[in-house]
Amino acid sequence: MGRGDKKTKRGKIAIGTTGKLRPKRKKFKVKPTTLAEQDKKDLQ
């Protein structure tokens, strides 16, 4: 258990992988709006 262990958080950091223990960071939290939705907001 430690740096070489693929199943621990420290091991995942050392190897440079992600998984259940250390999930990837999501790039965008906000859902992008479509042009049709933007047009509706502009008209109101």
Per-residue three-class SS string for 3-20: CCCCCCHHHHHHHCCCCC
**Residue-range definition of the domain harbouring residue 15:** 7-40
The better pLDDT of the pair 8, 30 is held by 8
Overall number of domains in the chain: 1
Mean pLDDT of the residues in the chain: 79
| Residue in the block written with tokens 């960071």 | 25
Whether 9 shows a pLDDT value over 70: the answer reads yes
pLDDT at residue 2 is higher than 80: no
CB 6 within 8 A of CB 12: yes
As a whole number of angstroms, the distance between CA 41 and CA 44 comes to: 5
In the predicted structure, residue 22 carries a pLDDT above the cut 70: yes
> Does residue 1 sit within a domain?
no
Name the pTM for this structure: 0.46
The predicted model gives 13-40 an average pLDDT of 79
Residue 2 lies inside a defined structural domain of this protein: no
pLDDT for 21: 79
